[in-house]
């Protein structure tokens, strides 16, 4: 049976959208400051942290615009959850984890806090555990932890473990990826990010995972498995990381570097352009025009963009943005590699500490010494958060930067 030919109106709409996407893509990449390498890949203006933040600034402005309704109706009410500097006594900090459930006040606090990140964060895929990290000494927010399904393909991780494709399919269920991990002001100024990252390797995180996912079915294999969380990966959004490097307490590595990503991704394709690409694929009858479905994995957006680039005759190397993120792994179980390699079935957690114990070590190791060296955190006022959530101020920052560069 021959395929039905598209109507003249559909053909015209497809051609118009093709021209629009080509123009939008070229203009946006030029606006970000990307150059093209001889092999067709993109060349980042600079590998400095500020340059990488600048690459994400338009994306962050879009995210703030999308959340304006939420910010206008909820931000002032939620503001007391955040600390001013004068409310923080470094020697008294006592972290506590709170699991975040959907459609709660805590979920709104989590959402508001993520909007402070200079690099817009993912919503996560598949399995998810979200935590607020509170300071029990003043009931203010220290930071956030969000764990989700790890990428199926991650060369540095797979090389460390020694996985074949079948091994990975069978045992990836024992891992999670920390896609949000960090502290909010003013705790971020006194190395609160290191404290929050250390809490990933705690007994409470393992227990919450066990309670929620012990009896679930594998996302890839669709088989019933007795999942145990033995390791967590994360990556630095700004290239090399000063937060996760040398993250050790009492001689135990809480995160260890294992390599870098290949510099592929889609952060430099803004949401408006992505939606144009989906419309284009829909007109072409392509399957990727459909929205993300459970089980598709975090690569769905990447595959959608790649399909559009292929149909428009662009090189797929436009997805190689050149920002190589450093990858880290935290081995929660003492025999994590044995479990992941299939040599052991039962994880051992003898060296795993509680949140209280980890928090005490991290506070004494990093937070208090930094606060003694630099007390500028004490001048932070939580009202400044409202300014950071104003997308207009971010636009002014972009305009000022362009004026300086010109």
Residues in the chain, how many? Answer: 406
Residue 395 pLDDT more than 70? no
Distance CA 111, CA 108 (A): 5
Residue 269 pLDDT more than 90? no
Residue 266 pLDDT more than 70? no
Q: CA 208, 143, 67, 326 torsion: positive or negative?
A: negative
When mean pLDDT is compared across 198-212, 301-315, 377-391, the lowest value belongs to 301-315
Residue 188 pLDDT more than 70? yes
What's the predicted TM-score (pTM) here? Answer: 0.82
Distance CA 302, CA 307 (A): 9
Residue 139 pLDDT more than 50? yes
What's the rounded mean pLDDT across residues 196-202? Answer: 98
> Contacts by 336-343 with C-beta closer than 8 Å and gap 24+?
336/230, 336/231, 337/160, 337/161, 339/171, 339/174, 339/228, 339/230, 340/161, 340/163, 340/171, 340/174, 340/175, 340/230, 340/231, 341/161, 341/162, 341/163, 341/167, 342/167, 342/170, 342/171
**Per-residue tokens: 152:** 């199926």
Summary mean pLDDT of the chain: 85
Which is nearest to 84 in space by CA: 402, 363, 386?
386
Which is nearest to 145 in space by CA: 209, 81, 77, 89?
209
Contacts of 254 (CB under 8 A, 6+ apart): 197, 198, 200, 201, 247, 248, 330
Distance CA 59, CA 54 (A): 10
Query: What pLDDT is stored for residue 222 in this prediction?
Result: 67
Coil vs helix vs strand at 306:
helix
pLDDT band for 219, please (50, 70, 90 cuts): low
What percent of the chain stands above pLDDT 90? 52
What is the residue whose two structure tokens read 């409310």?
87
**Per-residue tokens: 319:** 């997805």
Q: Where are the domains of the chain?
A: 1-32+268-319, 80-264+326-380
For 150-166, the pLDDT digits (tens) are 988 889 999 999 999 89
Query: What pLDDT is stored for residue 40 in this prediction?
Result: 61
Q: Who has greater pLDDT, 119 or 87?
A: 87
What percent of the chain stands above pLDDT 70? 79
What's the rounded mean pLDDT across residues 249-262? Answer: 90
Question: Hey, which CATH number is domain 80-264+326-380, 1.20.120, 3.40.630, 1.10.20, 1.10.150?
Answer: 3.40.630
What's the rounded mean pLDDT across residues 169-186? Answer: 95
Residue 300 pLDDT more than 80? no
Q: Who has greater pLDDT, 132 or 393?
A: 132
Query: What pLDDT is stored for residue 403 in this prediction?
Result: 35
For 120-129, the pLDDT digits (tens) are 777 766 899 9
Q: CA 223, 225, 230, 234 torsion: positive or negative?
A: positive
Pairing of strands 231-235, 175-183: parallel
Answer for the pair 152, 175: CB distance below 8 angstroms, yes or no. no
What's the rounded mean pLDDT across residues 36-46? Answer: 66
Residue 291 pLDDT more than 70? no
Residue 398 pLDDT more than 90? no
Query: What pLDDT is stored for residue 164 in this prediction?
Result: 92
Query: What pLDDT is stored for residue 249 in this prediction?
Result: 97
When mean pLDDT is compared across 68-77, 301-310, 335-344, 379-388, the lowest value belongs to 301-310
Cα–chain center distance at 70: 21
For 317-352, the pLDDT digits (tens) are 676 666 678 899 999 999 999 999 999 999 999 999
What's the rounded mean pLDDT across residues 360-372? Answer: 98
Q: Who has greater pLDDT, 117 or 400?
A: 117
Q: Who has greater pLDDT, 75 or 242?
A: 75
pLDDT band for 298, please (50, 70, 90 cuts): low
CA-CA distances (angstroms) from residue 150 to 135, 240, 252, 329, 375? 28, 20, 23, 11, 38
Query: What pLDDT is stored for residue 124 in this prediction?
Result: 64
Query: What pLDDT is stored for residue 163 in this prediction?
Result: 94
Residue 1 pLDDT more than 50? no
Query: What pLDDT is stored for residue 151 in this prediction?
Result: 85
Cis amide leading into 62 (omega within 30)? no
Q: Who has greater pLDDT, 307 or 210?
A: 210
Query: What pLDDT is stored for residue 294 in this prediction?
Result: 42
Residue 49 pLDDT more than 70? no
Element (H, E) at 63: helix 57-66
Answer for the pair 93, 369: CB distance below 8 angstroms, yes or no. no
Residue 198 pLDDT more than 80? yes
Query: What pLDDT is stored for residue 303 in this prediction?
Result: 82
């Amino acid at each position: 049976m021959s395929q039905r030919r598209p109507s003249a109106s559909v053909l015209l709409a497809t051609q118009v959208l093709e021209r629009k996407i080509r123009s939008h893509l070229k203009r946006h990449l030029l606006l970000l400051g990307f150059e093209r390498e001889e092999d067709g890949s993109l060349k980042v203006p600079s590998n400095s942290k500020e340059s990488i933040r600048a690459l994400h600034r338009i994306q962050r402005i879009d995210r703030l615009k999308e959340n304006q309704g939420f910010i206008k109706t909820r931000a002032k009410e939620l503001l007391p959850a955040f600390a001013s500097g004068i409310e923080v006594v470094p020697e008294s900090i006592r972290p506590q984890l709170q699991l975040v459930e959907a459609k709660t006040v805590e979920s709104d606090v989590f959402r508001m806090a993520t909007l402070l990140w200079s690099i817009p964060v993912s919503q996560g895929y598949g399995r998810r555990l979200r935590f607020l990290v509170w300071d029990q000494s003043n009931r203010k927010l220290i930071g956030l932890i969000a764990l989700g399904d790890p990428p199926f393909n991650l060369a540095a991780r797979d090389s460390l473990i020694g996985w074949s494709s079948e091994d990975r399919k069978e045992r990836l269920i024992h891992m999670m990826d920390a896609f949000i991990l960090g502290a909010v002001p003013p705790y971020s100024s006194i190395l609160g990010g290191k404290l929050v990252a250390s809490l990933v390797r705690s007994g409470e995180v393992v227990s919450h995972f066990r309670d929620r996912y012990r009896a679930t079915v594998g996302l890839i294999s669709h088989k019933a498995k007795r999942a145990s969380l033995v390791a967590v990966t994360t990556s630095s959004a700004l290239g090399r990381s000063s937060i996760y490097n040398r993250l050790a307490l009492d001689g135990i590595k809480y995160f260890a570097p294992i390599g870098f990503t290949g510099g592929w991704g889609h952060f430099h394709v803004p949401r408006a352009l992505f939606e144009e690409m989906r419309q284009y694929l829909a007109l072409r009858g392509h399957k990727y025009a459909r929205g993300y479905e459970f089980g598709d994995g975090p690569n769905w957006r990447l595959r959608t963009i790649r399909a559009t680039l292929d149909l428009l005759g662009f090189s797929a190397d436009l997805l190689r943005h050149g920002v190589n993120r450093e990858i880290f792994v935290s081995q929660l179980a003492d025999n994590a590699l044995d479990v992941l390699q299939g040599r052991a079935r039962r994880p051992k957690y003898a060296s795993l500490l509680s949140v209280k114990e980890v928090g005490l070590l991290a506070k004494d190791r990093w937070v208090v010494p930094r606060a003694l060296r630099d007390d500028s955190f004490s001048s932070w006022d939580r009202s400044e958060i409202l300014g950071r959530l104003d997308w207009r101020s971010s636009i002014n920052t972009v305009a000022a930067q362009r004026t300086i560069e010109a």
